[in-house]
Amino acid sequence: MNPIVVAIHGGAGTISRASMTPDREAAYRAVLAASLAAGHAVLAADGGAVDAVLAAVRVMEDSPLFNAGRGSVFTAEGRNEMDAAIMDGRTRAAGAVAGVTRVKNPILAAHAVMRRSAHVLLAGDGAEHFARAQGIELVDPEYFRTDERWAQLERARAADRVALDHDGAAEAEGGERKFGTVGAVALDRAGNLAAGTSTGGMTNKRWGRVGDSPLIGAGTYADNETAAVSATGAGEFFIRAVAAYDVAARMRFAGATLAGAAEATLRESVEPLGGRGGLIALDRHGNVALPFDTEGMYRGVVRDDGVPRIDIYRPESPEN
Amino acid sequence: MNPIVVAIHGGAGTISRASMTPDREAAYRAVLAASLAAGHAVLAADGGAVDAVLAAVRVMEDSPLFNAGRGSVFTAEGRNEMDAAIMDGRTRAAGAVAGVTRVKNPILAAHAVMRRSAHVLLAGDGAEHFARAQGIELVDPEYFRTDERWAQLERARAADRVALDHDGAAEAEGGERKFGTVGAVALDRAGNLAAGTSTGGMTNKRWGRVGDSPLIGAGTYADNETAAVSATGAGEFFIRAVAAYDVAARMRFAGATLAGAAEATLRESVEPLGGRGGLIALDRHGNVALPFDTEGMYRGVVRDDGVPRIDIYRPESPEN
């Protein structure tokens, strides 16, 4: 019988112990544990990898702590524009949405695009119309408004700059510098892989900027033959490095191991461009790699035994 | 001294001799020749590959014959939503726009994103606002309205279906079935590569669908170490195959030749998903590959001597 595995991330960046209170850390760990438990429950009941990814990502989208869904950051216009993608490693079917503003769980809209349209990527109002037509839950934009994110926008506006993902400006003030974004990868009992990513983008962003998260091959990719990958980091660099598919391509064409490929993608493909961040990768044998080149990355893994293993800081976990 | 090369495509699909009049073929050939001449003039004057790509793509965008810029097809709402991307193989800098409706030359807006923003992909109204702020020429949407494209939309509406790129519904009536999109790749005297792609998308498309053209790694990619690539075809399959970067990855990680990689991407990465189309690829030695698995592909190559070589139908050209 195949092993079952779920691995997740809740963003990478400057997450130092000094800037974290025990209560805040406990809150992050609780959501990460709940996310892993949700994904594991699907797989333990012989559910599929795609459904496990949806379950795990939804928990993080529903939390105000992560820059995705409920906790999304604000654009320069004071809106929340969210992106998400999902890919099925068995069929390489994929779906994604970019710039949705009222979809409660963007990962579910991405899934609807994959399952119920002939398309892969839908953007803006059109994506929202599609989601509504598919019965995906929409909410008042006020739902996404958290005081912390609004304060981040006001600080970013004051500094007149774009903050990458859910921080940047804030951290200049001693907070954490973090690339928001959440993601999950899963391996089910049938040996199928899936990957999903969801993000609220960048604080104070303008011009309809789309990052790597909803772009298949950049922030999200899955193929049973190689790996399921979800990335987090400075999105533009991950796009230019085609980072998620770069992991798979190193395995497919160069025979790299999962760990070797994941590490090499960061070191040899993303870093030479000047980019930083992290990614989670999982292969069909259940190998997991969670490399990052930032100070920390919210991350966790659960296997058959259902015991969640969660890390935030360096050093990277042994499994890495 | 390095060779200089420009290769272009104007879309692949069912382009049979039977459906083409001599006048119409001559018109296509004339625009392809003008596009090659524009790119060649830049390179012959020791200009850069990026500028050569811009020059070559602009000529095709300005022609009503191709599904990009002036000749873009209509969405279901009777609008023109255009996408474009460009990538500089020397720096792997990239820029792209999706869903712009008033930018006369979307490839110039993509170039402005690359050169004058911190971002790679801007979508929708935001992309248009950025273009305007950068002094990119906007036109009345009426500029994009051609009678032929409007008739295609009306036929597609009657058939109530989405036509992939600039045909599909029309061809059921005996016309050509074609994946619009135009693209160019160039190699300059300094040995630098660049790639660009521009498209009007799909007739009768809905929901803000974004295809592969503006997605780095899918429809467009360039890296001096491997290749410059621009794709045309059923976009969703090229996204799922991460087709443009797949060519580069086969060269980078498996040591494939340009021709071997380009052919393998179509046969082993795109076709197994059910996708068809073509691509143009160029490496720093001046090797060119123009594979396609449709009936025809508008395509051309020009080298140092300035003599344009243009093909439309099968068999594929010797250089292929």
- pLDDT (tens digit, 9 = 90+) per residue, B63-92? 999 999 998 888 888 888 999 999 999 999
Contact B85, B68 (CB under 8 A): no
Tokens of B232: 């045309």
- pLDDT (tens digit, 9 = 90+) per residue, B28-41? 999 999 999 999 99
Q: Report the mean per-residue pLDDT for chain A.
A: 90
**Does residue B142 register a pLDDT over 50?**
yes
pTM: 0.93
pLDDT at B127: 96
Burial of B190 (0-12, 13-18, 19+ CB in 10 A): middle
**Does residue A166 register a pLDDT over 60?**
no
Burial string for B136-175 (b: 16+ CB within 10 Å, else e) reads bebeeeeebbbeebeebbebbeeeeebbbbbbbbbbeeeb
Q: Do B250 and A253 touch (CB under 8 A)?
A: yes
- pLDDT (tens digit, 9 = 90+) per residue, B227-258? 999 999 989 999 999 999 999 999 999 999 99
Contact B182, B9 (CB under 8 A): yes
- pLDDT (tens digit, 9 = 90+) per residue, B297-313? 999 999 999 999 999 99
**Does residue A187 register a pLDDT over 80?**
yes
Residue listed under structure tokens 């049973």: A224
pLDDT at A159: 78
Main-chain dihedrals φ then ψ at residue B281, nearest 5 degrees: -140, 145
Assign B166 a pLDDT band (cuts: 50, 70, 90). very low
- Among residues B91, B101, B146, B181, the one annotated as catalytic is B181
Assign B160 a pLDDT band (cuts: 50, 70, 90). low
- Does B241 reach chain A within 8 Å, measured CB to CB? yes
pLDDT at B167: 40
Which positions 124-163 of B are in contact with A (Cβ < 8 Å)? Answer: 124-127, 129-130, 162
What percentage of chain A has pLDDT greater than the value 70?
92
Tokens of A58: 């939804």
- Does B218 reach chain A within 8 Å, measured CB to CB? yes
Q: For A11-25, A27-41, A93-107, which range has the lowest pLDDT when averaged over its residues?
A: A11-25
The CA-based dihedral angle spanning residues A188, A193, A199, A202, taken in that order and rounded to the nearest 10 degrees: 140
- Is the bond into B315 cis (omega within 30 degrees of 0)? yes
Residues contacting residue A165 through CB under 8 Å, at least 6 positions apart: A11, A13, A67, A73, A178, A179, A180, A181, A199, A200, A201, A202, A203, A211, A232, A235
Residues contacting residue A19 through CB under 8 Å, at least 6 positions apart: A174, A175, A176
For residue A203, list its beta bridge partners: A163
SS3 B39: helix
Q: Which residue has the higher pLDDT, A132 or A148?
A: A132
- Does B206 reach chain A within 8 Å, measured CB to CB? yes
SS3 A261: helix
Q: For A142-156, A278-292, B46-60, B213-227, which range has the lowest pLDDT when averaged over its residues?
A: A142-156
Q: Do B215 and A122 touch (CB under 8 A)?
A: no
- pLDDT (tens digit, 9 = 90+) per residue, A225-262? 999 999 999 899 999 999 999 999 999 999 999 999 99
Question: From the candidates A213, A225, A242, which should be mutated to test the interface with B, based on the most B CB atoms within 10 A?
Answer: A242
Question: In the CATH scheme, what is the code of domain A5-313?
Answer: 3.60.20.30
pLDDT at A141: 86
SS3 B182: strand
**Does residue A61 register a pLDDT over 50?**
yes
Q: Do B207 and A245 touch (CB under 8 A)?
A: no
Least CB–CB distance from A120: residue in B99, B217, B240: B240
In this prediction, residues A3-12 reach a mean pLDDT of 96
Contact A33, A88 (CB under 8 A): no
pLDDT at A317: 56
**Does residue A173 register a pLDDT over 50?**
no
In this prediction, residues A12-17 reach a mean pLDDT of 80
pLDDT at B151: 84
Beta-strand pair A93-100/A121-123: parallel
**Does residue A202 register a pLDDT over 60?**
yes
| E strand or H helix at B117 | none
* Whole-number Å distance between alpha carbons of A316 and A310: 11
- Is the bond into A318 cis (omega within 30 degrees of 0)? no
In angstroms and rounded to an integer, the radius of gyration of the C-alpha atoms of chain A is 17
**Does residue A73 register a pLDDT over 90?**
no
Write out the catalytic residue numbers of A.
Answer: 181
**Does residue A144 register a pLDDT over 90?**
no
Contacts of A207 in chain B (CB under 8 A): 117, 119, 122, 126-127, 129-130
| Closest approach of A298 to chain B, Cα-based (Å) | 25
| E strand or H helix at B306 | none
Contacts of A227 in chain B (CB under 8 A): none
* Whole-number Å distance between alpha carbons of B150 and A67: 42
**Does residue A46 register a pLDDT over 80?**
yes
- Does B112 reach chain A within 8 Å, measured CB to CB? no
Question: Max Cα separation, chain A?
Answer: 56
Main-chain dihedrals φ then ψ at residue A88, nearest 5 degrees: -100, 115
pLDDT at B178: 58
Residues contacting residue A289 through CB under 8 Å, at least 6 positions apart: A258, A259, A261, A262, A263, A279, A280, A281, A282, A319, A320
pLDDT at A156: 81
Provide the residue ranges of all domains of chain A, joining segments of one domain with +.
5-313
| Closest approach of A34 to chain B, Cα-based (Å) | 31
- pLDDT (tens digit, 9 = 90+) per residue, B275-292? 999 999 999 999 999 999
Contact A191, A174 (CB under 8 A): no
